[in-house]
């Protein structure tokens, strides 16, 4: 046990890379003598302390933590001298001497008589948590804002029709009901986007694969845009080469293609070109959607697939800014990847690849 080993033996034994280094959170583990025996890569990154400088030392010297009032947390906690019934401490915000804020959780492993055998400290990045909370707040605010307009319209028209039904002729009633129907569709799309974001973040996307004719899916999307009022000559479609048998989720592919084409129509200009071809690097397919607009500014390329990103003029043209984030999540759920670059003739080109898959991989 730790008390029977010469000083530093346990630390040296655990000084190389180990399973703890795969954890996204920082982890410090001290033995029965309060010596650090585990100090993983995430802990190094969060604290700026090298593992080599931490292992074998008293954890209280390695990681001096203070609360918001400046009190030494280890003295307040007394982990090795407190009640032997304690098993863990809930997460709380603490600070390193330099002011870095960390979210800290602690737990015990006890032996005979309640003696502490291992004391573990889990560290999380407080700034990252704050960013996530801001993102969630932004998501709620954005969706609430986008929902308000169609719901106000639905309420206004239905209230008017109920109160003054006999004052309107059939044509006027039809126009009002068509507006209500369109706004209801908009609300449905917004809720679907919100659910998609939730499933992507939780890793709970369900894939229902079957053989999909990708070129046919593209033709359906274009036909839908034309039926909705877009000019047929706005679109150009090319198929370059024979594709392998593609096992994909047809509903999600429609969503991917629909979002990319809508993005090109809304934010781009000129002809929207869709190219489907075999993936040159591995068995599968590659799909490119190009427009002839302003393109993506180089400084924005890294942000395109984040939540709430909007292209040039996006704030003026509506939308939640979730479409490309969802597209990326759906492509990756297929085992594919998506990139954006400047199109050969100007504008933006979104290109995604998906593997062919196989019947025995279908779900």
Q: Which long-range contacts (CB under 8 A, 24 or more apart) does 84-93 make?
A: 84/110, 84/113, 84/114, 84/115, 85/114, 91/124, 92/67, 93/67, 93/68, 93/126
Query: For residue 254, what pLDDT is reported?
Result: 92
Query: For residue 296, what pLDDT is reported?
Result: 81
Query: For residue 305, what pLDDT is reported?
Result: 84
Query: For residue 16, what pLDDT is reported?
Result: 52
What does each of the 363 residues of the chain score in pLDDT, given as a tens digit?
Answer: 344 444 444 443 444 566 778 888 899 999 999 999 999 999 998 899 999 999 999 999 999 999 888 889 898 888 898 777 788 888 888 888 888 888 899 999 988 888 899 999 999 887 766 666 666 666 677 677 777 888 888 899 999 999 999 999 999 999 999 999 988 887 887 787 778 877 887 777 888 899 999 999 999 999 999 988 889 999 999 999 999 999 999 999 999 999 999 888 888 778 999 999 999 777 899 999 999 888 887 777 777 887 766 555 444 445 567 888 889 999 998 999 999 988 887 789 999 999 987 654 444
Output the pTM of the full model: 0.57
Share in percent of the chain as helix, strand, coil (round to 5):
45, 20, 30
Task: Round to whole Å and give the CA distance between 321 and 318.
Answer: 8
Tokens of 147: 């929902």
User: Residue 127 to residues 112, 130, 133, 139, 340: CA-CA distances in angstroms?
Assistant: 39, 5, 10, 18, 29
Q: Where are the alpha helices (DSSP H) in the chain?
A: 9-13, 41-47, 51-54, 59-62, 73-77, 126-164, 170-202, 214-227, 250-267, 314-317, 323-333
Query: For residue 315, what pLDDT is reported?
Result: 43
Q: 348: which residues sit within 8 A by CB, 6+ positions away? A: 264, 267, 268, 290, 291, 293, 295, 296, 311, 340, 341, 342
Query: What are the structural domains of the chain?
Result: 2-127 (3.30.450.20), 129-202 (1.10.287.130), 210-361 (3.30.565.10)
């Amino acid at each position: 046990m730790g008390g029977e080993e010469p000083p530093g033996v346990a630390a040296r034994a655990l000084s190389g890379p180990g399973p703890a280094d795969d954890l996204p959170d920082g982890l410090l583990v001290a033995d029965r003598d309060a010596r650090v025996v585990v100090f993983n890569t995430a802990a190094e990154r969060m604290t700026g302390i090298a593992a080599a400088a931490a292992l074998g030392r008293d954890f209280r010297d390695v990681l001096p933590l203070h609360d918001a009032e400046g009190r030494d947390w280890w003295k307040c906690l007394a982990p090795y001298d407190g009640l032997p019934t304690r098993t863990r401490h809930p997460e709380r915000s603490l600070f390193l001497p330099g002011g870095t804020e960390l979210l800290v959780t602690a737990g015990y492993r006890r032996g005979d008589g309640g003696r502490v055998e291992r004391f573990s400290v889990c560290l999380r990045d407080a700034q990252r948590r704050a960013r996530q909370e801001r993102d969630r707040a932004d998501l709620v605010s954005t969706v609430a804002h986008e929902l308000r307009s169609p719901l106000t319209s639905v309420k206004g028209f239905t209230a008017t029709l109920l109160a003054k039904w006999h004052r309107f002729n059939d044509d006027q009633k039809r126009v009002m009901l068509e507006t209500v129907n369109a706004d209801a569709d908009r609300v449905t799309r917004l809720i679907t986007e919100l659910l998609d974001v939730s499933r992507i973040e939780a890793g709970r996307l369900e894939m229902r694969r079957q053989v999909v004719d990708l070129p046919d899916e593209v033709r359906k999307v274009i036909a839908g845009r034309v039926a909705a009022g877009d000019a047929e000559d706005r679109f150009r479609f090319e198929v370059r080469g024979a594709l392998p048998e593609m096992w994909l989720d047809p509903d999600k592919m429609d969503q991917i293609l629909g979002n990319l084409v809508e993005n090109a129509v809304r934010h781009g200009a000129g002809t929207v070109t869709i190219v489907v071809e075999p993936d040159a690097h591995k068995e599968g397919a590659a799909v490119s959607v190009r427009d002839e607009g302003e393109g993506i500014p180089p400084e924005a390329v890294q942000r395109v697939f984040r939540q709430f990103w909007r292209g040039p003029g996006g704030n003026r043209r509506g939308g939640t800014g979730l479409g490309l984030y969802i597209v990326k999540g759906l492509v990756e759920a297929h085992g594919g990847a998506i990139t954006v670059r400047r199109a050969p003739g100007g504008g933006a080109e979104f290109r995604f690849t998906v593997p062919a898959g196989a019947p025995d991989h279908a779900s």
